[in-house]
Amino acid sequence: MRLREMAIGAAVALVVFLGVNGVDVWPLVLLAALVGVVFATGLRHRLNLGQSRKVEVGTRSVVSFQDIGGQNTAKNELMEALEFVLRPADMERLGIRPLKGILLTGPPGTGKTLLAKAAANYTDSIFMAASGSEFVEMYAGVGAQRVRQLFRDARQVARKENLSSAIIFIDEIEVMAGRRGQHQSHLEYDQTLNQLLVEMDGMSTTEDVRILVMAATNRADLIDPALLRPGRFDRTVRVDLPDRQGREAILMLHTRNKPLAAGVDLGQIALETFGFSGAHLESVCNEAAILALREEAEAVTHQHFKAAIDKVLLGEKLDRHLDRQELYRVAIHEGGHAIVGELVNPGSVASITIAPRGMALGFVRQAPDDDRLLQTVSELKKDIAVCLAGSTAERLLLGEQSTGAANDFEKAWDIARRMVTAGLSSLGVVHEEALSPEALYQTVQEIIRDSQEEVDHLISSQEEAIRRLADLLMENETLPGERVRELVA
């Protein structure tokens, strides 16, 4: 340190001496500044090289499996896989090779991180979490060093807490564990993945701290196959969107601390939230409570929940004001969707509104009788008919269509295209890659043309009901599905 200070002092004295004697010292000053910047950058790089920026420092998780609803299959499979952590002696006696890694896959918001935290609580393990993006830097070797440091930290923290196991959770693992050879600019991604493979191969059952690596992703197809082979990530647990019973269980969990009015039916709310993840349902409960607070209500009512569903789906109401002619067109459009929806799928309409939200000027919310994992040809054609009904109502009742149906047409086209690729069209069983664009276009057009003829007939026969529904929407803005069913009857 003293030598460096002496060198700096001598350099400054030299510059002053040269300046006094008439020498132009500015080039030397600029050169010294440039050298200083390069030195400081390199020093900072060396200091940060071994740092592992963790989302959570090693902690004991307080989340239990009882705090997670709607994922019974995933929980049971995960609890079975965790037996080796709880019963190491029995595993050794039976010659069972313990699992080293568990991969949680599924859509966003389904509870993958919560399951990992619950696993740490269930096994009384130290929980350390990181994100895949934290291991990838512009400097070569940083990611691999951080992987090594993460495993070292997990063992050290577990020993400090007198625990025999630790769980390392890596979220968005596809960022650091993508297929090797895809990144041509540098090999930092590959080096990071190679180091993770080495660490998992080096994990031994004889260590005083047993480590289980858990990871989460919604793009398992991007992960390098070497990471998914037995001996590394031995188990892949699918965490899907919850079904109707699962959604009701999640709603019960998120309403435990909220006062509910007598008329709240969580089963009906679960029915109307088909396709919602656990994160969506938590947001619905929170938004319903916020609406109750705005109205200074003593408890959260069923209407608050219905309004919260619309808000989570579409966003907050907009201050956009349409003139009466445009508003009536929107009412006719949404009335067409609702009436045809009730005709082809009785009891499916939950509510209809012409209040602008997000990018939508109006919206018909569907509530199917039950979750559908498979759809028949007739069910798909009904969905296409509902998509086409709004623009058809405009054309037949108002004389011309508008641009408001662009999204409906896109949905109808996607459904028809799915029918073709699933072998449900006049082409029969086909392979998408062997199907020419012309043949695909003609077949999709044929499906939509047949549905359009049926929709024209339905709209013509229900013209009076659609106009009456549009008048009611102009007065009330939002109507429940029961009112639509009365008009159809």
Distance, in Å, from the CA atom of 218 to the CA atom of 429, rounded to the nearest integer, reads 30
CA distance 354 to 478: 7
CA quadruple 446, 452, 455, 461: dihedral sign: negative
Q: CA-based Rg of the chain, rounded to a whole angstrom? A: 31
- Rounded to whole angstroms, the maximal C-alpha distance in the chain is 104
Among candidate residues 334, 379, 475, 486, the one labeled active-site is 334
255: phi then psi, degrees, rounded to nearest 5: -110, 10
Distance (Å) of CA 127 to CA 121, 403, 423: 8, 52, 48
Q: How many residues does the chain have?
A: 489
Please report how many Cα atoms fall inside a 13 Å half-sphere around the Cα of residue 336, on the Cβ side: 29
DSSP 97-143: PPP-EEEEE-STTSSHHHHHHHHHHHHT-EEEEEEGGGG--SSTTHH
**CA 384 – CA 366 distance, rounded (Å):** 14
Q: What are phi and psi of 203, to 5 degrees?
A: -70, 130
Is residue 334 flagged as an active site residue?
yes
DSSP class of 431: -
Q: What is the dihedral of CA 34, 35, 37, 42, to 10 degrees?
A: 150
Tokens of 102: 């568990």
H/E segment holding residue 282: helix 278-294
Q: Give the residue from 236, 260, 304 showing the smallest Cα distance to 77.
A: 236
CA atoms of 154 and 126, how far apart (whole Å):
7
Judge whether 251 and 269 are in contact, CB under 8 Å.
yes
Catalytic amino acids?
A: 334
